[in-house]
Chains A and B, each alone.
Chain A
């Protein structure tokens, strides 16, 4: 009996002590600094981003926030935004919704950020949606292609940037119908929202496949699984294969095909998520012969295309503000999002509020300059960003040239529902001088 009572007391004491300790440490250090809007002071704007910095999903994605930060540092050194400097708080969520929710709580409640930018992962963004909505925190340029985020009623403060996987599949379907009509096409896709979104898009575009090969996310690391993909492709008699997967899956498919002696026998068409040549080169150098000649979908210029004014400028910023980091698609994505963020902040004016930021995107966002070739679709009724892709042939050195010839960017644009795929030559807004927006 004595033991039990002391256990109870012990537990009681510990519980109270623990909760009290947490409560006391919660008292805000700066309770009274005058602020007109959360995350904004007369000299700073605080933004937050959550990405996997460590863990299995980290390689590649962990470069995005530092690319973004490098761009913000560059802008800060050149006057900032209406006199304010941008601070970017970067948090690691290890691609887990449990962690994503905790660190996002920290960002919104403890760091008190003005807005979230580039938060990564569908499930992770889903987990934080209610809180973000309730607190009215703008969530810009979520790093995911899940088409659901375009729903302005469910996600009033969320502004996607990338075309959704659904739209990408439609665009690829349109491209296939245009250039590969009559070919036998196989499809490798990830069997979750990422790939199933795409399947719906292909269906919408009317694409038929001789083989549809799903894989469970993460299983591409097992050579047995990859072997199965290749035997499936061979068995179907396909001469063209679309890979709608992450970069490790794309690399595994190319490597597996190389192993099976399929070099030159199959035309590979790669979805944008897994098509960064620099990453694939690292993942499976043996597959380089297969990479050569593969066609990849993209809405940004190739990260190695130094003739592109945006890429050239971003590379310079990277060399100066992100030392030691190799410039690749991930850095490009981060800097591009940074440039758009700066323009949105500028458009919102000196009297900066969250409502004004979102209004600025809706009103003038479609005219912002960015590296993307597709037009931006933000408006009062739509939160969809880029809406199209161009297709380029990859070379073994990682360069990507439009299939119709250097500099000839032909876009396949579409919408996020039943609209057709439209082919057009595009004009991208010219880059502001030195990459510093003046809007």
Chain B
């Protein structure tokens, strides 16, 4: 056990260093998109944990991301916390919200939980207009500044802010993935899978189902909160318009594309979410011959791809073959 844990830590570290090194060779645009991918990986993994492992549905993780984002920005601006600490505050705030929501949700099943989270996703962001400190519709700005000199001097060249975003995103994403991976392999993860597979049997063998569900919700929310804080960093602001219902749907979609119980797939899901708009946008400008068509073609292509993917790869890209053996 210990050997493989050390090995996996080493692999993550190696990947991290490779990515950071790669950042010297990619342009600003790709650095930004890379950072975006990292954020989506974290958000998608929060759904994989909640839905894929613990079997609970949330259509409102956008709201949890909002909580994380706002908490991070507020603590950065008013308490003058350093950036990483502010992100942690964001994750904790979302975790707290997730804990409360999880407690309320423990009694709810499937679509009832979905409905509740959906209503939350719609209702929460508008709260920003109620409390002046939350900045209202135009939001609160959030500038984490440039990379510190001791880093930018080492790598030479132009260390743009987008490159700095990429570095931070890589750091947070890999740490998060490593953390989740270990969590899912721990007894908590086993408990979640047991409850998801057969709740009665799990209960009979002494598992406290409610506690397990709430834990999953809390951790998942913390992840979403971190994702929201990073999103705020990337956008340079938090505003209600950035955390719409569409965001909640997007990350669940990404999770399904990933293969909803497949952590490694979160990377593919995130890449797809970021790359697809580019591809469809380019396609649309070539294929579209009228304004109406060109404007709506990207959405059309994306939807068709989504439907086809869900139809033919409902379990995601099947990165490990063991999935097939699980079929009843």
Binds B, one of A180-188, A191-199, A312-320, A403-411: A191-199
* Contact, CB under 8 Å: A192 / B319: no
Chain B residues with Cβ below 8 Å from A22 are 26, 30, 33-34, 275
* Contact, CB under 8 Å: A194 / B264: no
0/1 string, B28-53, CB within 8 A of A gives 1: 11101110110000000000000000
Say whether A134 faces chain B, with CB atoms less than 8 Å apart: yes
Per the bound structure, the CA–CA distance linking A18 and B129 in Å amounts to 39
Chain B residues with Cβ below 8 Å from A98 are 231, 235, 242, 247
Minimum CB–CB distance from B171 to chain A (whole Å) comes to 14
Minimum CB–CB distance from B300 to chain A (whole Å) comes to 10
0/1 string, A299-331, CB within 8 A of B gives 1: 000000000000000000000000000000000
* Contact, CB under 8 Å: B235 / A127: yes
Per the bound structure, the CA–CA distance linking A427 and B148 in Å amounts to 55
Minimum CB–CB distance from B229 to chain A (whole Å) comes to 15
A130's partner among B30, B137, B143, B277 (CB-CB below 8 A) is B143
Per the bound structure, the CA–CA distance linking A426 and B282 in Å amounts to 47
Binds A, one of B17-25, B75-83, B104-112: B17-25
Interface residues of A in 1-28 (CB under 8 A from B): 1, 3-4, 6-8, 10-12, 14-16, 18-20, 22-23, 26
0/1 string, A84-127, CB within 8 A of B gives 1: 00000000100111110110011001100000000001111011
Minimum CB–CB distance from B22 to chain A (whole Å) comes to 6
Interface residues of A in 255-294 (CB under 8 A from B): none
Chain A residues with Cβ below 8 Å from B271 are 14, 18
Say whether B152 faces chain A, with CB atoms less than 8 Å apart: no
Say whether A341 faces chain B, with CB atoms less than 8 Å apart: no
Say whether B199 faces chain A, with CB atoms less than 8 Å apart: no
Say whether B95 faces chain A, with CB atoms less than 8 Å apart: no
Chain A residues with Cβ below 8 Å from B22 are 19-20, 23
Known: A22-B30, A96-B242. A10 touches B264 (CB 8 A): yes
* Contact, CB under 8 Å: A127 / B237: yes
A123's partner among B29, B237, B277, B296 (CB-CB below 8 A) is B237
Say whether A202 faces chain B, with CB atoms less than 8 Å apart: no
* Contact, CB under 8 Å: B319 / A12: no
Per the bound structure, the CA–CA distance linking A338 and B236 in Å amounts to 29
Interface residues of B in 130-180 (CB under 8 A from A): 136-139, 141, 143, 161
Number of interface residues of B (CB under 8 A): 54
A126's partner among B8, B19, B237, B275 (CB-CB below 8 A) is B237
* Contact, CB under 8 Å: B295 / A62: yes
Interface residues of A in 71-93 (CB under 8 A from B): 92
- Judged by DSSP, the binding face of A is helix
Minimum CB–CB distance from B291 to chain A (whole Å) comes to 6
Say whether A216 faces chain B, with CB atoms less than 8 Å apart: yes
Chain A residues with Cβ below 8 Å from B119 are none
* Contact, CB under 8 Å: A123 / B11: no
Chain A residues with Cβ below 8 Å from B242 are 96-98, 123, 127
Known: A98-B247, A130-B161, A196-B136. A23 touches B26 (CB 8 A): yes
Nearest CB in chain A to that of B299: its residue: A54
Say whether B2 faces chain A, with CB atoms less than 8 Å apart: no
Say whether B286 faces chain A, with CB atoms less than 8 Å apart: no
Say whether A129 faces chain B, with CB atoms less than 8 Å apart: yes
0/1 string, B1-21, CB within 8 A of A gives 1: 000100010010001001100
Chain A residues with Cβ below 8 Å from B298 are 92
Minimum CB–CB distance from A147 to chain B (whole Å) comes to 11
Minimum CB–CB distance from B25 to chain A (whole Å) comes to 6
Say whether B246 faces chain A, with CB atoms less than 8 Å apart: yes
Minimum CB–CB distance from B284 to chain A (whole Å) comes to 9
Minimum CB–CB distance from A309 to chain B (whole Å) comes to 28
What are 12 sample pairs from A and B whose C-beta atoms fall under 8 A apart?
Answer: A8-B8, A11-B264, A11-B319, A15-B15, A96-B241, A109-B28, A110-B29, A123-B138, A127-B236, A129-B236, A192-B129, A193-B136
Assuming A4-B8, A7-B320, what are 9 further A-B pairs, CB within 8 angstroms? A8-B11, A10-B319, A11-B319, A54-B296, A97-B235, A127-B235, A129-B141, A131-B161, A194-B137
Residues on A close to B: CB < 8 A? 1, 3-4, 6-8, 10-12, 14-16, 18-20, 22-23, 26, 53-54, 62, 66, 92, 95-99, 101-102, 105-106, 109-110, 121-124, 126-127, 129-131, 134, 146, 148, 191-194, 196, 216-217
